[in-house]
Amino acid sequence: MRRYRLTIEYDGRGFVGWQRQDNGPSVQQALEDAVLGFCGERTQVYGAGRTDAGVHAIGQVAHVDIARPTTTDTVRDALNAHLRPASVSVIAAELVDDAFHARFSATGRRYLYRIVNRRAPLALDAGRAWQVGMPLDVEAMQTAAARLIGRHDFTSFRSAACQARSPVKTLDRLDVTRAGDEIRLEIAARSFLHNQVRIMAGTLKLVGEGKWTAQTVADVLAACDRTRGGPTAPPDGLYLAAVRYDGSARGGGQAPDDAADDDE
């Protein structure tokens, strides 16, 4: 039995999310079915982040154990052949040792949230970005974003359905930049609470519209009350962009417990 680390991208539309569920197709199920089609083995694919319905990925990481003797290139190409026509692609496959776990060995995750700030309808990015017609003040959004960086109780930015044991997280990065009509939020932390990134995006949109200030955001954070927080932004603009692992790709010990909470 050999363990393979997979780097994956997918369009989250049409999926109920990463995790296998009874109410519709999932990315995990698509990959497990592809493994079955490739080598006849029923196995579980473990992902680094359990993205919600409609959330995309350009750098999801997963691992899978396969008994059939094969090469990494064959794993990549065979899985992609059996994934068609699903909007999932295995970008790379590499051998790792049995200590590697896609979720628990991860020491950081980076998300991207895309806002297209224009009135005209989206022809190419419909379903892949959040369209906001009202002009947004990116400088004000960045000032407010700085209030969220660091170690905090993020209860005000946590879904009521979140099952994480603690609402305390350390946000390493929250950058807001504009390029033309597109506003990009780049967010990094070891792990996230359920819907944390989308609630932060919805909150910063209120700041960009001039409805809230940076102090409002600080007050909401301090309140530790979800009813005080901003709205949950739609999944369209959210991408799991990258997962970080310290040390060699062939290793990776158990990460601290909060790494298991990541659920966007």
Report domain extents, the chain: 2-105+246-261, 108-241
> Quick check: is 175 catalytic?
no
| pLDDT attached to residue 260 | 52
Q: Whole-model pTM?
A: 0.93
Residue 252 pLDDT class (50, 70, 90 cuts): very low
pLDDT of 228 strictly over 60: yes
Please state the three-class secondary structure of 56-81 as a single string. Answer: EEEEEEEEEEECCCCCHHHHHHHHHH
Average pLDDT, stretch 225-238?
97
Query: Which residue among 52, 236, 258, 262 is the active-site one?
Result: 52
pLDDT of 13 strictly over 50: yes
Residue 258 pLDDT class (50, 70, 90 cuts): low
CATH T-level fold of 2-105+246-261: Alpha-Beta Plaits (3.30.70)
Residue 180 CB contacts under 8 Å (≥ 6 apart), including other chains: none
CATH T-level fold of 108-241: Alpha-Beta Plaits (3.30.70)
What confidence tens digit (pLDDT) does each residue in 62-97 have? 999 999 999 999 999 999 999 999 999 999 999 999
Angle (CA) 205-207-210 rounded to 5° is: 115
pLDDT of 250 strictly over 70: no
| pLDDT attached to residue 263 | 72
